[in-house]
Structure 1
Amino acid sequence: MAERHWRFDDEAALVAFARALAPALRAGGVVYLHGDLGAGKTTLARALIGALGVEGRVKSPTYSLIESYRLPDLSIHHLDLYRIADPGELEWLALDELDRGGANLVLVEWPERGAGSLPRPNLVLHLAHAEPGRTLNAVASDSRAAAWLAAISE
């Protein structure tokens, strides 16, 4: 639907992008985070979660698979599927329950490992190494996510 590209010279610029995107995600949605190891997926997710109002340490869900955060107006679910070998392994996570009751934001790192078991994304972010920084290609899957991208100033 809509697609935009960014280049970040350092981690601070990636964090600033996350902070700019965060207000648009306050109503919830599903965001897939693609990229090689070290591309910035967790950095982006942590920055988003913090910008949305989660205080304190934002843990990586690499070993727990999912970390959830409850705010008064939003529930955030951060998944890291790097250790998943088969999408069937996700059944016990009750992912179909994540979008029930109020606004829910689901951030999924390594979504390709959960193919067929995940909710459809509104927004797909592809991060890549581009020394000395990173590139980000954002693809909106619907008009709502297209508006999110349009809201981010260059």
Structure 2
Amino acid sequence: MGKHQSQKKEPCPVARSVDVVGDRWSLLIVRDALDGTRRFSEFQRSLGVAKNILSDRLRRLVEAGILASQPASDGTAYEEYVLTPRGESLFPLVVALRQWGERHLFARGERHSVLVEKESGKPVALMGLHASDGRELSPGETVVRKVASTPAHDAPGGAGVRPRRR
């Protein structure tokens, strides 16, 4: 993996989020942690990732407050990685990626894992983006208010943001 420029100062929430969890291994670690994986060896076995890469991604996820490292719950000398509330809040992102993949990356009838409710055993409903009145929104019905890049907008009393299409 080549060096990338940090997006910590970027005013776009998507860019900052991708900076923290946007690579393959980080997202798959979060996916596995949501499924109950806790130990380094379990992540390594599940993902088949090189130990140095796994170690780096776990460290980054701990530094970002997504995972916490703690002594193993069984009293052994091992460490466990558990999701923090910040990490658990990534659940909708993982579900959205899952549902997008189900819709676009599998042939009709092709078998794949399915996310179901524990209590009922029924598949989880499709996610959607909804307006304040409950209707489903399309991308064309939204706009991002970007931070102004001109000093005049940043001055006291200035607008500070201006609407712009993505």
- TM category (shorter chain) comes to under 0.3
More helix by percentage: 2
Q: Which has the higher contact order (CA 8 A, sep 6+)?
A: 1
| Larger Cα-atom Rg | 2
Q: TM-score, normalised by structure 2?
A: 0.24
More strand by percentage: 1
